Each structure stands twice: as structure tokens, then as C-alpha cells.
Amino acid sequence: MPEKEIPSGDITFVQVSPYQGAPTNGTLTKVIPIPVPWLKTVGEDTPNFHSRKRRGELLPHTTFWQGDLIEFQVQPYSSKTVRNSDNFWWECRNWLGPLNTFWSTSGMSPDLSGTGSLLQQAAGNIMSNGFDALTFMAEWDKTKDMVRNVNRTFANLLGSKRNLARNVHRAWLEGRYGWRTLAYDIRDLDNALRDFDEKRRIWTERSGYSYTTQSSNDLTSLFGTSWGDSHGTRTITDRVSIRAAVGAMVQPSRFQLNPVQTAWELVPLSFVIDWALSVGSAIQATHLSIAASSITSSVGYRIEREIVTTVDSITGPSTHTYTLTTPGKATSKYAIEVRTPTAVPLAPQVTRRLPRPDQILDLTAIVRAKATWGGLKNLR
């Protein structure tokens, strides 16, 4: 995609500049244009994109960069200044600080060093289309014990209060990694029997996460010794979305039979290890690399930045009296979106994200339940 820039016009605002030495009290008005040609796209074109897509080809992920202005609003602040010696006064309206602070891209390049696990997860999602028959059969005894002992689980919860906390935590883990997994198995089996598309050859899956950061700082803008200083705040909010995408020319099996994946699933608490090190996803990504005739993948991010600047007071020398008649506010919102072709790694990757709230609860339950391997036998 060739580089192109689309002007979005000029934004104008009215600034009433303070002045001294005028023959009478009053104001001075002038209009200042602000150019904002800030919709820019840079990338690579895919030759014959539409015809190749119609033919059912797997199109490669290409480099892509786009900046997009979403919103820009300026409400100038108004103030009145009175010179105490002779009551000479003037009013002014002013905007909020230098223009380049609105379009700053500082800090808009997030750390992508941990996206290898996201690529593996997306690749694993492709190979998870179907029913994991081998793992289900390997864990059949655990499933039977869990169903057979459901009455005992409820009896323990309603029984002695001395072990209530431990029994609650064990029931929590059994529900999360026993009954919930069984429900997913039933769903996958139903989809494999009814909805699985054996003719489909191109599969695309995505994986990612989002977070928000915010920073704020006080501002003082100088407009001359006798004109006073404006005081306010500037708040920058970044909404970040990190994502990975994998496309493959492959035909996943309706019924999955992957002995390496099953062996890993049978390792006690393997799901906890996967939170920090993507062993399970690496196994599935390797399976995809063997089964697929073609793979394309990429990582990228979108950052939406909002900057809000306000003016809420005016101060200055004691020879003058300053009054803020209208608070000022400026809002700018713009986004940067980036995509970079990146190969799917096959070695297990370290997960750099913080544990999710549900994972923290699970870890707490494992510790508090004081469960041995036998105590966790119904976890699947």
C-alpha cells in the first residue's frame, strides 16, 4: 500500500488577545487556523488482492500503519484583568498551550516482546476446531469419578464447618477445571457432529488483550508578566489493544488425536504452567506447522490516545486583579494502528502479562485447599 495522506481540513478558533496601551477598555479578536492533515496510511499492497481472495487463496499478512484523527475540540478560556492603579481592564480568550502537545506520539509503541505466546494461542485455536477425542478418553476415569461423587461434594460443603474453607476451595477448582471442562467437551462434540465444515480450507484465528493507562500533570502557561499565568491540568489516556492473527491453509480433523497434546494435558496442574509458559499452545502451534500447507501471521496493536487539557485559574502580580470568567478545555483524540508480519514461534514462550483475576482466585484455591495430587484428581 503506497503512502498516502488525506487532509481533513482546518480547525479554527477565535483568540481574543490581551493588549495594553489601548485608548479605551476593550478586547481584540483574531482568528487563527490550525491545520490538521492527520489521516495517514502507510503499508504494502497485495497484488491482485480481490481476484485472489475470490479464488480462495490464503492472502499474506502485510505491513500496515495508519494514524487517524478522531476528535479535536478547543474551548478557549476567558479571563478579565483589572489594573488596580487606574481600573484599566481588558478581557482575553486564549487557547491551551503549544499545538505539538496535542499530536504527540510519545509512548505510543507498546512492548510487543511477549506476543509470541499470543501467536501460539491463535495457531492453537485453529487446531482446536474439533473434538479432542484422545484427551477425553484418557480422562474418562476422572470424569466418571467426578460425576459419581457429586453428592459427596455437596455433602462436604454442607457438613463440618471445621474443613469448610478447604472444601469450598476444592469445590471451586472442581467446578472450574472439572465440570466446566466437561461442558466444553460436550459443546465441542456437538459442534463436531453437527456443524464442522469439512470443506473449509482457510482458517483464521486471533488472540489478544487490552489495557488502559492514564497520566496527569499540572500546567502553567505564561502569557506575560502583567497578563497573568493560566493554571490547569493535562490528562493523557491511552487505550491499548495488542493482538496476534494467524491464517492457515489446513483441514483440522473433526476428531482430534494428538498424543503429545494429550500427554501434556495429563500432567498435574499443567494449566498453571501454561499461564506462565505456553507449553500447550506451543504443542498445538507445532502441530499446525506440520499439518498446514501455508501459514501467514502477524502481530499488531491499536492505541487510542485522548488528551484533555483544562484551565481552571488565573494568577499574576499583585498590581492586577485576575478573574477567570470561562474555564478552558481542549480535547484531542487520535489513534495509531500498526500491523507487522511475524512468524509463529514453535518453542514455548514466556507469558509477560499479569495473572487475570480468575487465575489469582484459582491459585488461592489451590494453596488454601492444601490439595495433594490425589485431592486434585478430578481436575481435567
- Exposure string of 21-51, with b = 16+ CB inside 10 Å and e = fewer, is eeeeeebeeeeeeeebebbebebeeeeeeee
The per-residue pLDDT for 296 is 94
Domain ranges of the chain: 49-130+197-349, 139-195+366-380
DSSP labels for 276-326? HB-HHHHHHHHHHHHH-SEEEEEEEEEEEEEEEEEEEEEE--TTEEEEEEE
Q: Cell triple for residue 125?
A: 485455536
Compute the C-alpha angle 17/22/28, nearest 5°. Answer: 25
145-183 residue pLDDT tens: 877 777 776 666 666 666 677 777 778 888 788 888 888
pLDDT tens string for the chain (380 positions)? 334 333 333 333 333 344 343 334 444 333 334 444 445 556 666 777 778 777 778 888 888 888 777 777 777 777 777 878 887 777 776 655 434 344 556 667 788 888 999 999 999 988 888 888 888 888 888 887 877 777 776 666 666 666 677 777 778 888 788 888 888 888 888 877 887 776 778 889 999 999 999 988 887 764 444 456 778 888 889 999 999 999 998 887 788 888 998 899 888 888 888 888 889 999 999 999 998 989 999 999 999 988 888 888 888 778 888 888 888 787 878 888 889 999 999 999 888 777 788 888 878 888 776 644 444 555 55
**Predicted local confidence at residue 176, as pLDDT:** 81
How many residues are given for the chain?
A: 380
Task: Give the integer Cα–Cα distance in Å for 279 and 261.
Answer: 9
Is the overall model pTM greater than 0.75, yes or no?
no
CA distances from 373 to 2, 13, 126, 269, 369 (A): 59, 70, 32, 9, 12
**202-222/77-83 β-pairing:** unpaired
Q: How many CA atoms lie within 13 A of 153 on its CB side?
A: 19
The pLDDT score that the predictor gives to residue 36 is 46
pLDDT value of position 23: 33
